[in-house]
A and B are shown apart, each in its own frame.
Chain A
Amino acid sequence: MSKLLKDLKEAIRLSGLKDGMTISFHHHLRNGDRTAVMVLEAARELGIKDLNVNISSVFDTHASFIDMIKEGVITGIETDYMGGAVGKAISSGIMEKPVIFRTHGGRPGDIIRGASHIDVAFVAAPTSDAEGNCTGKMGKSACGSLGYAFADAMYADKTVVITDNLIEGILDKPSISGEYVDYVVAVEKIGEPSGIVSGTTKITKDPVGLVIADYAAKAIEASGLLKDGFSFQTGAGGASLAAAKYLKDIMMEKNIKGSFGLGGITSYMVDMLECGCFEKLYDVQCFDLGAVESIRTNPNHIEITAEKYASPWLEENMVNDLDVVILGATEIDTNFNVNVHTDSNGCIMGGSGGHSDTAAGAKIAMIVAPLSRARISIVTDEVLCKSTPGSTVDVLVTQCGIAVNPLRPELSERFKEAGLPVVDIHDLAEKAKRLNGVPLKPQRGDKVVAEVLYRDGTLLDRIYNVID
């Protein structure tokens, strides 16, 4: 029997999707994704409601979730990240059940160990054959790696591949094998290319960001880890990318051959691979066109699953082999706990992604952030939401100096030896207070709008509704 169906509604019917079930999506099409909304609209037209949506990230392109929550089509969301548009609505308390936040490693871990069951997985695939052998490396909606979709496709009761590039014959070297796929649907468009990958990610020109990046690179150099075999991950934020560039300069100058670069991959990491700074890139997600092109053509640029990337239940996961990860923060407190879930009003506008996974795994987890942004201090006495436990965060780099977690006295010594400006994180918090003043605490209600699960599934924090 052919897996190829005529449209989404037929796929939904045949998958057996009913009220109260859990459906899943990946976020490789990022802010260009049309698939999740397309599927949910079809389900709504079929009169299905009370759906629990497990999606690896929610972007602003999913703003119509808000109406579907109000209508009762969506009654639960499980995700690793939620952008400001849906986040604001959730924070106001529009949904009865709290959102469940996981990490990029915890999500596949929970799916695989059965702690998070998926009834039907809808996998947007930039290229697929009629058997459901699919890949993200080709097609007009190419997104590169499909790392976050593997666990969904393999462990859901039913898996539907949705593609806008259905090829004749059998797809050579698929990412996800058709053996896991029950149905295939061809649609006109799974996403808007402009939102899927950015043309080029640009290094910041902000002088403060560059100073932070310079300190970050020098701190990595001073840490003793920057030698042959070095492994590294960095976020796509401006200062993080600039730090990667400075790091590359140091590696080239000293002729250091690293082992691998990990994570969400940008052109800058590709450049480091091509310059010989790394032997391999292990890629769970592509951030820009350069990364997509590289994963398609360079055999040393390797697609990995989210489980392999960061699942705490998989012993040989990649984050445990990381030397250094550079991460951002919206807030960090004097115990080094980091908030990446809410803004300074306590309103949801982010999520862990791989933040706490990499922090737990890497030998050095380094946060790069300015001391404050337009009067909002980044360094505080207590974060509004604990996204990543301070015990896993080693270093904070700001323009005003480098604070080292007291759990890592040897790092502090190494930095001082290299003449880097080491400061006490409490002094940074005080400095921020003197500069900005002490902000009023945001008004929060007593309704839990989200639960933040740590990567092992334990409850880390609760996010409460925000009162305007």
Chain B
Amino acid sequence: MIINKAYAGTLESSDIFVEIEPADEGAGIELKLTSAVYKQFGPQIEEVILETLKANGIEDAKVTANDRGAVDCTIRARVEVAALRAKGEV
């Protein structure tokens, strides 16, 4: 699968900015998360991001996420759109 660099979301309150970059095959997901609520929700956010990437068929990528207190359904939406854009499916 060809992955282009793509992003989705914003840095507004309650949103999350997600950027996906290509990585070598077999490299897996390298996720860098910064979050305003990292102490409270860091692991939960990472899990939701990884799960959504998997559901959208992204297996190898560098992913950067900057979270401003987004709830799960927003995180899922932004990751899905970033994934679709990275795959050129929009």
Contact = CB atoms under 8 A, between A and B. Distances in A.
A374 B36 contact: yes
A345 B39 contact: yes
A443 B13 CA distance: 25
Counting chain A residues whose Cβ lies within 8 A of the other chain, the interface size class is 10 to 19
Interface stretch (A104-112, A209-217, A349-357, A431-439): A431-439
A52 B69 CA distance: 39
A375 B39 contact: no
Contacts of A439: 37, 40-41
Nearest to B35: A375
Given A374-B13, A374-B14, A375-B14, A436 B39 contact: no
Contacts of A344: 37, 40
Nearest to B70: A375
Contacts, number: 40
A439 B39 CA distance: 8
A440 B39 contact: yes
Interface in A433-460: 435-437, 439-440, 442-443
Contacts of B51: none
Contacts of A376: 37, 40, 69
Contacts of B68: 374
A421 to B, nearest CB: 22
A375 B69 contact: yes
Interface in B33-56: 36-37, 39-44
Nearest to A346: B39
Contact of B41 (A373, A435, A437): A437
A374 B69 contact: yes
A344 B39 CA distance: 9
B71 A435 contact: yes
Contacts of B71: 375, 435-437
Contacts of B36: 374-375
B69 A440 contact: no
Nearest to A435: B71
Nearest to B15: A374
A374 to B, nearest CB: 3
Contacts of B42: 440
A440 B41 contact: yes
In this complex, the member of A375, A376, A435 whose beta carbon has the largest number of chain B beta carbons within 10 angstroms is: A375
Contacts of B41: 375, 436-437, 439-440
Nearest to A344: B40
A297 to B, nearest CB: 41
Contacts of A442: 39-40
Nearest to B14: A374
A345 B41 CA distance: 12
A212 B52 CA distance: 35
Contacts of B37: 344, 374-376, 439
Q: Which 8 A-B pairs have the closest CB atoms?
A: A374-B69, A439-B40, A375-B69, A375-B37, A374-B13, A374-B14, A437-B44, A440-B40
Interface of B: 13-14, 36-37, 39-44, 68-72
Given A345-B40, A376-B69, A437-B41, 4 more contacts: A374-B68, A375-B14, A375-B70, A440-B40
27 contacts: A344-B37, A344-B40, A373-B69, A374-B13, A374-B36, A374-B68, A375-B14, A375-B36, A375-B37, A375-B40, A375-B69, A375-B71, A376-B37, A376-B40, A435-B71, A436-B41, A436-B71, A437-B71, A439-B40, A439-B41, A440-B39, A440-B40, A440-B41, A440-B42, A440-B43, A442-B40, A443-B39
